[in-house]
Chain A
Amino acid sequence: MTEHSASAPGTSTTGTMAVKRGMAEQLKGGVIMDVVTPEQARIAEDAGAVAVMALERVPADIRAQGGIARMSDPDMVQDIIDAVSIPVMAKARIGHFVEAQVLQSLGVDYIDESEVLTPADEAHHIAKSGFTVPFVCGATDLGEALRRIAEGAAMIRSKGEAGTGNVVEAVRHVRAIRAGIRRLGTLDETELFVAAKELRAPHALVAEVARLGKLPVVLFTAGGIATPADAAMMMQLGAEGVFVGSGIFKSGDPAQRAAAIVEATTFSDDPDVIAKVSRGLGEPMVGIDVATLPDSQRYATRGW
């Protein structure tokens, strides 16, 4: 595994930080949709999704059905890879590095080390730098985001509270990450050492974020986005793109809702467009009030 760049003509290097982070840069301003069948993947592609997340059950069904949620069946992931030409992502359990090895071997384009699946390790996340395939990880605040980046995550998303259709936690997490970044910008060199200690993150990364005024990787939002207005609000709050899980295929008219969320993400600053695409979408997913969820059913608390 080399993280440095190719140096001479005739040599090329895969799996570098530049191609991993650069891949996420290409997804910016776009919508990544959860799909459970090749047919859904094609609907997502037709609607303008920049990528699909292949999984066996959407988070709303994982909540409803309970049990241990694991990596999807390789056959199912392969069928979705074969069905579309856009990038295909898949989820591995937190800390389950062998699920990640399997997904890399299947040729998925991005792995989501996801709290939506049942964690396989209650102390450690996957050491992600050693993989050729890039990883996206969830975060609830800046410290968590930076710990994941230190482990090799090439993209960060808010955790939100998946499968609820309730955007409140995604708002909390994106606001917390962005506020944390802004705060670092006000600190002097000495104070950044203490900030690193408080954030439980490497000082070099903390100093880099303070200098850049942003994360060194792309920041998406996920967890509870169900409407075009939800997506546009998250973009206005500073997310660079949107994951939609249960919100599309648990709604009344998935194809139309998917297209509307894509359009609202591109024109997130234009209320006229958002109003237009929000008309006549049919029933959104029913949704759950996050405040009624017992702690044991909150996915956002998974991850360390």
Chain B
Amino acid sequence: MSREPVVGVLALQGDVREHLATLTELGAEAVTVRRPEELAEVDALVVPGGESTTMARLATRFGLLGPLRDAVAGGLPVYGSCAGMIMLADRLLDAPADQVTVGGLDVTVRRNAFGRQVDSFESQVEIDGVAGGPVHAVFIRAPWVEQAGEGVQVLGRVVGGPADGRIVAVRQGNLLATSFHPELTGDRRVHALFVEIVRRHLAEQAGVDAGNERGTS
């Protein structure tokens, strides 16, 4: 299996173009996903930055929420940045009472945790699994992970300032999420980590399929 992975970007709203460009630069085939039949065609999905309440409502209204939940349950690799982290969280704080999520990540995420836009900031964050020094991180009305379940790997925390130690990057199996927006900075290393997760997942699947074929023949 050496074909390039097809990575979808959920294109209901948000900074879709930046994710598409970064994924393409990394050699993935990047496509937009707005409909269940488009979701069915991808090897992995990115949920971009944007407004999570808007994405959740559009996903519900256009019949995408169920297929998204099924895809995550089925092991689809998904990376969420900012609003994408909110969409992947099992539990939310400071969200409208009726805000739904795709879920899958055993975390409690607080929306707009760092404050309003005047509190949005740039910083440097060390990410486990990302070599070459800290990642330049842009936080925009960003969420953080308030609490992470036992199976969740904490990959990065804020250093310094009033939010010192807050969790801003996590991974659980094939799900990856960051509070910040690597798609805005030109630093492709977080996306590269995700594409690596996708490639490994595809290789494993190919192995399983090959095994099944051998077993049945």
Does B120 contact A23, Cβ atoms closer than 8 Å? yes
Q: How far is the CA of A208 from the CA of B136 in the complex (A)?
A: 23
Is B147 part of the binding interface, using a Cβ–Cβ cutoff of 8 Å?
A: no
A-chain residues with CB within 8 Å of residue B158 when the two chains form the complex: 12
Does A109 contact B122, Cβ atoms closer than 8 Å? no
Does A263 contact B159, Cβ atoms closer than 8 Å? no
Does A11 contact B160, Cβ atoms closer than 8 Å? yes
Is A147 part of the binding interface, using a Cβ–Cβ cutoff of 8 Å?
A: no
A-chain residues with CB within 8 Å of residue B213 when the two chains form the complex: none
Interface extent on B, as a size class?
35 or more
B-chain residues with CB within 8 Å of residue A25 when the two chains form the complex: 15, 18, 49, 184
Does A262 contact B120, Cβ atoms closer than 8 Å? no
* Min distance, Cβ B119 to any Cβ of chain A, angstroms: 6
Proximity bits, A1-43, B CB within 8 Å = 1, else 0? 0000111111111111011001101111110000000000000
A-chain residues with CB within 8 Å of residue B126 when the two chains form the complex: 9
Q: How far is the CA of A54 from the CA of B16 in the complex (A)?
A: 27
* Min distance, Cβ A62 to any Cβ of chain B, angstroms: 26
A-chain residues with CB within 8 Å of residue B58 when the two chains form the complex: 48, 262-263, 266
Q: Which of B145-159 contact A (CB under 8 A)?
A: 158-159
* Min distance, Cβ A140 to any Cβ of chain B, angstroms: 25
Contacts A263-B58, A266-B13, A267-B34; is A26 near B122 (CB within 8 Å)? Answer: no
Q: How far is the CA of A10 from the CA of B111 in the complex (A)?
A: 22
Chain A-chain B contacts (Cβ-Cβ < 8 Å), number: 147
B-chain residues with CB within 8 Å of residue A16 when the two chains form the complex: 121-122
Is A152 part of the binding interface, using a Cβ–Cβ cutoff of 8 Å?
A: no
B-chain residues with CB within 8 Å of residue A5 when the two chains form the complex: 122, 136
* Min distance, Cβ A64 to any Cβ of chain B, angstroms: 31
Q: How far is the CA of A7 from the CA of B51 in the complex (A)?
A: 28
Is B61 part of the binding interface, using a Cβ–Cβ cutoff of 8 Å?
A: yes
Does A133 contact B141, Cβ atoms closer than 8 Å? no
B-chain residues with CB within 8 Å of residue A26 when the two chains form the complex: 14-15, 49-51, 82-83, 140-141
Name B164's closest neighbour in chain A (CB-CB).
A10
Contacts A14-B121, A28-B16; is A22 near B140 (CB within 8 Å)? Answer: yes
* Min distance, Cβ A106 to any Cβ of chain B, angstroms: 10
B-chain residues with CB within 8 Å of residue A133 when the two chains form the complex: 117-118
Q: How far is the CA of A27 from the CA of B83 in the complex (A)?
A: 11
Per the CB 8 Å criterion, the residue count for chain A at the interface is 45
Is A85 part of the binding interface, using a Cβ–Cβ cutoff of 8 Å?
A: yes
Among B61, B62, B95, B123, chain A packs the most CB atoms within 10 A around the CB of B123
Does B96 contact A45, Cβ atoms closer than 8 Å? yes
Is A104 part of the binding interface, using a Cβ–Cβ cutoff of 8 Å?
A: yes
The secondary structure that dominates the A interface is loop
Q: Which of A57-79 contact B (CB under 8 A)?
A: none
Does B51 contact A86, Cβ atoms closer than 8 Å? yes
Is A210 part of the binding interface, using a Cβ–Cβ cutoff of 8 Å?
A: no
Contacts A25-B18, A28-B16, A85-B96; is A18 near B54 (CB within 8 Å)? Answer: no
Contacts A26-B83, A85-B95; is A18 near B13 (CB within 8 Å)? Answer: no
Contacts A12-B123, A134-B117; is A48 near B53 (CB within 8 Å)? Answer: yes
Among A8, A26, A104, A266, chain B packs the most CB atoms within 10 A around the CB of A26
Is B37 part of the binding interface, using a Cβ–Cβ cutoff of 8 Å?
A: no
Proximity bits, B99-135, A CB within 8 Å = 1, else 0? 0000000000001100011111111111000000010
Is B69 part of the binding interface, using a Cβ–Cβ cutoff of 8 Å?
A: no
Among B51, B160, B185, chain A packs the most CB atoms within 10 A around the CB of B51
Is B11 part of the binding interface, using a Cβ–Cβ cutoff of 8 Å?
A: yes
Q: How far is the CA of A6 from the CA of B112 in the complex (A)?
A: 21
Q: Which residues of B line the A interface, CB within 8 A? A: 11-18, 34, 49-51, 53-54, 57-58, 61-62, 82-83, 94-96, 111-112, 116-126, 134, 136, 138-141, 158-161, 181, 184-185
Q: Which residues of A line the B interface, CB within 8 A? A: 5-16, 18-19, 22-23, 25-30, 45-51, 85-87, 104, 107-110, 132-134, 259, 262-263, 266-267
- Beyond A28-B17, A263-B58, 20 additional contacts (C-beta under 8 Å) are A6-B122, A12-B122, A12-B123, A12-B160, A14-B120, A22-B120, A23-B120, A25-B49, A26-B15, A27-B50, A27-B51, A29-B11, A46-B96, A85-B111, A85-B112, A86-B53, A87-B141, A109-B117, A109-B118, A132-B118
18 residue pairs of the A-B complex, CB under 8 angstroms, read A6-B121, A6-B122, A9-B125, A9-B160, A12-B161, A15-B118, A18-B185, A23-B140, A23-B141, A26-B82, A26-B141, A47-B57, A48-B61, A109-B118, A132-B118, A262-B57, A266-B12, A266-B58
